[in-house]
Structure formats: C-alpha cells, structure tokens
Amino acid sequence: MVSFVHEVAPPSVEDKAIREKLLDELNAQPWTPVSAVDVVVRGGVVHLSGTITDEGQRQALRVAAENIPGVKKVEDYLTWVEPISGFYVEAPPAER
C-alpha cells in the first residue's frame, strides 16, 4: 500500500517547552484569542495559524512568540476575520 502522508517527527523537548511558555503567556493576556489560534513549534520555528478578529492581535502574537527564549523564527498563517461582516484577510505572504 502506498502512503502519501509524510511522517512528522514528534516535537523535541525544546519545542514543547517553547510552546508551553508561549501558551502560558497567551493565556495570561486578556486580549488573546487562545481558543482560535493554534501554535505548533518545530525546530524552534513557531507556526501561528487560526483566526483573529483584530489585526493588532497579529503583531502582538508575533511579538509574544519572538520573546520566548529559543524561538528562531515565527511563521504567520493567521487569518483576520472582521466579526460583523465576515470579511477576511489572510496573512501577507511576506510575513509567512
């Protein structure tokens, strides 16, 4: 049987620690949409995905991640959704 799914190595101890520290920081902030944002860390690179309802949250999430020791890079895959109209904007390619 042929498999098209690549196996992904489990996160390292360092990656797990980065993710936990970032989630702790985000949970401590009243502005964070923690339930709508997914955080994955691989090789010290933080991948942010999910939805935000305020464009200012994008930069704040990036800064929070960049301030965690051991983070090498932050990749932004967040989608901004305007809560009233439902209009959405994906992350600019330059920020990914």
Phi, psi angle pair for 37, to nearest 5°? -120, 135
From CA 53, how far away is CA 83, in angstroms rounded? 6
Q: Is 30 left (phi over 0), alpha (psi -120 to 50) or beta?
A: alpha
Residue 69, pLDDT above cutoff 80: yes
The answer regarding whether domain 13-95 maps to CATH 3.10.129.10 reads no
Residue 7, pLDDT above cutoff 70: no
Tokens in use for 10?
């489990």
What are the pLDDT digits (tens) for 9-68?
778 999 999 999 999 999 999 988 888 999 999 999 999 999 998 889 999 999 999 999
pTM of this prediction? 0.80
Residue 5, pLDDT above cutoff 80: no
Q: Which residues make beta-bridge pairs with 37?
A: 50
Q: Domain coordinates of the chain in residue numbers?
A: 13-95
